[in-house]
Structure 1
Amino acid sequence: MKNTALLLLFTATIFSVNAQKNSKNEGPKVFGIDTTKAFTIDSTIKTLYKTISGEKGEARNWGQFKFLFYKDAKLIPSGRNNERVYKARYLSADDYVKNSGKWLVQNGFIEKEIKREVQQFGNLAHVFSTYECYNSKTDEKPFMRGINSIQLMFDGSRWWILNIYWTNENKFNPIPRAYLPKS
């Protein structure tokens, strides 16, 4: 009994110290994952962009990235093929990391949200998020822009990304003014 009480006291002390250390900018971390980053729609979307973004050679926190996604969630890039027909690919969070993770680190990839529209009904949310992509924070012009269509679910304690379906802007498919920041 005495050992159990000491163990509980030790655990509470460690948690308290870690909570104080993390209270400046982040919540408590479990295996490098900030579990507070999915409490709101806003924090979930901001964490999504933050986890895939980084300068050339900068490691990404793929554990934090995967933490955002519900079991069997899909990432769905779409675009025109050589025959100019729109196609979509279905990826899991693991597939995305395996297929894109190395490229993002080798080339640098900064994705910035420039406009967001949120529609919510109870535990269901849909976010239309317009983005710009850069190789570095110092780049003046984006090399790519597009829109992420993000579906989320609130399970009573946190938000989960169910799907991200996106397409990039091109000369045949420019981003409508309604989805760009007001100038």
Structure 2
Amino acid sequence: MKNSCIFLLALMALMTNAHAAESQTQQLETAVSGLWQAMSHAPGVAADIAALQPLFHPDAVVAGARPGGALSQQSGAAFLQSLSQVSAKGFYECEIGREVRLYGQFATVLSLVESRGAPTQKDADFTGINSLQWYHNGEKWQLLSLYYYLEQKPGELKLWPLAAGARRASAGACL
């Protein structure tokens, strides 16, 4: 009887841990999708800063480069400030690939993203690969760093080999 109780308690603990891990994974997936959706905006409108701010850790860093260009780096706060400016052009991010690696409170996400001036535009203006590092603070995931690099040759990143289990959509069909 005692062994049965111990077994049941151990099984319940495993199930609770599995549920917590699944919940954290779903929270992370939602945060990544929310990041790309909140950055997108119609002409004459800014990005959704109210949705973006809680996703960024106070010490977040955003860095990136275009092929052959110099690396630029800024704080997450400066990046959000730049996104708060109203733009005459629309900007739509469409994530077409995502590879997630999660360990405890740490996660890294490789994300392939197409950018367009209009959501109905057939071809992307550019495609980039993004490396995102996330930290779970006990309540939610927050972005610690985002490093982007734009495609060197058109169409090249659509063939980027993501790890087994990664999600991928065809061009223009956002995850």
The 10-residue stretch of structure 1 (127-136 or 170-179) with the greater mean CA deviation from structure 2: 170-179
Identity of aligned residues (%): 25
Cα-to-partner distance string for 1:107-126 (whole Å, 9 max, x where unaligned): 11000100100011111100
Counterpart in the other structure of 1:123: 105
Superposition CA RMSD, Å = 2.5
| Counterpart in the other structure of 2:79 | 96
CA shift for structure 1 position 48: 0.5
Question: In the superposition, relative to structure 1, how do residues 56 and 131 fare at CA in structure 2: closer, same or farther (>3 Å)?
Answer: same
From 90, 110, 116, give the equivalent of 1:134.
116
Aligned to 2:135: 153
On the 8 A contact 2:35/2:52 being kept in 1, the answer is yes
Larger displacement relative to structure 2 (169-178 or 87-96): 169-178
Q: Which amino acid aligns with 1:142?
A: A
Q: How does 1:104-123 map to 2 (within 5 A)?
A: 105-123=87-105
Local SS of the residue matching 1:142? coil
Give the ranges of 4+ consecutive aligned residues of structure 1 lying more than 6 Å apart after TM superposition: none
Residue pair 2:102, 2:108 contacting (<8 A) in 1 also? yes
TM-score by length of 1: 0.68
Displacement, 1:100? 4.5
Q: Where does structure 1 lack aligned partners over 5 or more consecutive residues?
A: 1-38
CA positional deviation for 1:102: 2.8
Q: Hey, what does 1:40 align to over in structure 2?
A: 27
Question: Counterpart of 1:144?
Answer: 126
**Quick one: which amino acid aligns to residue 97 of structure 1?**
L
Aligned residues: 141
Which residue identity is paired with 2:89?
N
Equivalent position of 1:70 in the other structure: 57
Name the SS for the 2:66 alignment partner: strand
Counterpart-to-counterpart distance in 1, 2:121 and 2:153: 22
Give the secondary-structure state (helix, strand or coil) at the position aligned to 2:29: helix
Q: 1:172 to 1:117 in 2, by over 3 A?
A: same
1:91 counterpart SS class: strand
Which blocks of at least 5 consecutive residues in structure 2 are unaligned? Answer: 1-25, 171-175
Letter in 2 for 1:92: S
Q: How far apart, in 1, do the equivalents of 2:84 and 2:121 lie?
A: 21
SS of 1:60's equivalent in the other structure is coil
Which amino acid in 2 is paired with 1:178? P
